[in-house]
Amino acid sequence: MPTERKSIHGQWSNRFAFILAATGSAVGLGNIWKFPYIAGENGGGAFVLVYLLCIAVIGIPIMMAEVLIGRRGRQSPINTMRTLAYEENASRHWHLLGWAGVVGGFLILSYYSVIAGWALAYVFRAGSGLFTGLTADGVQSIFSNLVDEPERLLAWHTIFMVMTMIIVARGVRSGLERAVRLLMPLLFVLLLLLVGYAWNSGAFHQGLDFLFQPDFSELTANGVLIAMGHAFFTLSLGMGAIMVYGSYLPDNASIAKTSIAVSLMDTLVALLAGMAIFPIVFANGLEPGAGPGLIFQTLPIAFGHMDGGAFFGMLFFVLLVFAAWTSAISLIEPAVAWMVENLGMTRIFASVTAGFTTWLVGLLTVFSFNIWSDLKPLAMIPVFAESTIFDLLDYLTANIMLPLGGLLIAVFAAWQMKRESSVDELAMGDGFFYRSWRILVRYITPVAVVIVFLNAIGII
C-alpha cells in the first residue's frame, strides 16, 4: 500500500539528484576537517578501523531507515514522525524525535558555520600567496592570528551564515543540484593532487601506517564513542537531515542502493583527506593530535611548496567552503521545512529566523577559540578536563545526540513500523537483503550503540 502523499516542498528531479544532494550533505567539514583531527587525537589506525566498522554496520542501515521514514512521511521530520506514529499505531511522543533533530541541527550548525568561516578566510590567505615557502611555524602563526581575533571569526561566521540562509531561502533544489554535480568531482580531484604531494613528502608510509595500522593500545572507550559519533556525523544521520532529503525522493528510487552509494563516496573522501594530511604531519614534525586546527596547519605547507600552490590552495579552500555549504543547508532544512508547514511562514522568513538563531548560538564557538579559550565548564569530569565550550557542543551533538537520534530512528523503523510498511517502502522484496537490513536495524545497531555508550560511561 504505497502512500499517495506528496511533499509540499517539491521533489528531486530524479534518483541521481537525491544522491547528489545527500552526498552534498554528507561530504563536508566532517570528512576533511574533522575526520583527520579526531583520528589524530585518538591514535590513528584502531580508531579508523572502528569508524569504518561503524559506517558499515550502523551507518548504512540507519541511513536506509532514515530515508525510508522520510519518504513515507513526506514532511518535515517533526510532522513525518507525527504522521507515521499515527499510521503505525505508535505513541504520539515519537514526534519529539523530530524536535530533537531540529535542536541538534541548530547546535551543530552553530559551530559548523564558524569552522566553515575559517575555510572562507583561508581562500583569501591561500590566493594571496601568503603560504608560499612557509615552514610549519609560519603556518601555525597564520592560524593563530585568525582564531585569536574574535572580530575576525565573527565576520567570517556571519558571512557563511548569510550564504547559507540565501540558499535555504531559495529552496534546497534550485541551484544546489548543479553546484554539487560540478564541485564534488573537482574536490575529489584536488584531494588526489594533495595525496600526490603527500606521496613525495618523504613520510607517506609513516602517514599511511598511522592511519591504517591499528594499534589497539591507543584506543580508549571514549575514542570508540567518538568514532561511532563521527560515523553519524559524517553521514549526516540521526537528526532528520537525511530524513527531510528522503522526503523529496521520488517513489521509484532504490533506498538501499542510494544509501550505499552515498556512504561509499563519503568514506572515500575522508580517507583521501587523511592520506593527504598525515604524511605532511610527519614530514614536518607536527603533532597528529594538534586538534581542530590540524588541516589549517598542514595543508598550507603543501600548497606553499607546490608549483601553482596559490592557485590550487585557493581552489581547494573554495571547494571546501562549497562542501561545507551543501552540508550546512541540510542542517537547517528540517527546522525551515517545519516552520513553513506549521507556522505558515514564507521560506524566506523561516530561513532568516532560523539562520539568525543559529548565528547567535555560534558566538559561543567564536569565543571558545579566543576570549573564552581557558573556560572549561565541565573540567570536574576527567574526559572533559580540557574541553572548551566548542568541544562540549561538538561532543554533545556528535557523540550523544546523533547516536541517540539514530538509535531511535532504527527502533522506530524496525520495531514500530509494520513489517509491510518497510517492505513496501524499501521496495527490494522480502528476500535476503531485506532480512539482513531488518536484523541489523532491529538488533545489531541498537545493541551496538548502547554498548558503546555504556562502555564510554564506564559501566561495561
Q: Which is nearer to ligand TRP, 54 or 402 (CB)?
A: 402
Does the protein bind ligand TRP through residue 29 (CB under 6 A)?
yes
Q: How many residues bind ligand TRP (CB under 6 A)?
A: 16
Q: Which is nearer to ligand TRP, 130 or 265 (CB)?
A: 265
Report d(CA 88, CA 52) in Å as an integer: 33
**DSSP for residue 14:** S
Angle subtended at Cα 72 by Cα 235 and Cα 166, rounded to the nearest 5 degrees: 55
Residue 282 near residue 207, CB atoms below 8 Å = yes
Q: Least distance from C-beta 238 to ligand TRP, angstroms?
A: 6
Q: Least distance from C-beta 424 to ligand TRP, angstroms?
A: 27
**Complete DSSP assignment for 23-59:** HHHHSSHIIIIIHHHHHHHTTSHHHHHHHHHHIIIII
Residue 238 backbone class (left: φ over 0; alpha: ψ -120 to 50; beta: rest): left
The cell numbers describing 140, all together, are: 601555525
Site for ligand TRP in 377-416 (CB under 6 A): 402
Residue 69 near residue 95, CB atoms below 8 Å = no
Does the protein bind ligand TRP through residue 236 (CB under 6 A)?
yes
In the bound state, the residue with its beta carbon closest to ligand TRP is: 30
430 by DSSP, 3-state: which? strand
Site string for ligand TRP, 349-378 (x = CB under 6 A): ------------------------------
Q: Which of 26, 50, 244, 277 binds ligand TRP (CB under 6 A)?
A: 26
Q: What is the largest CA-CA distance in the chain?
A: 65
Region from 59-67, 150-158, 232-240, 278-286 binding ligand TRP, contact rule CB under 6 A:
232-240
Q: Residue for cell digits 579552500?
A: 317
Does the protein bind ligand TRP through residue 126 (CB under 6 A)?
no
236 by DSSP, 3-state: which? coil
Site string for ligand TRP, 318-337 (x = CB under 6 A): ---------x--xx------
Q: Least distance from C-beta 382 to ligand TRP, angstroms?
A: 27
Q: Which of 50, 241, 272, 275 binds ligand TRP (CB under 6 A)?
A: 241
Residue 260 near residue 266, CB atoms below 8 Å = no
Region from 20-28, 200-208, 255-263, 277-285 binding ligand TRP, contact rule CB under 6 A:
20-28
Q: Which is nearer to ligand TRP, 79 or 234 (CB)?
A: 234
**In whole angstroms, how far apart are CA 154 and each of 130, 208, 290, 366, 374?**
22, 36, 23, 6, 19
Binding footprint of ligand TRP on the chain (CB under 6 A): 25-26, 28-31, 108, 233-234, 236, 239, 241, 327, 330-331, 402
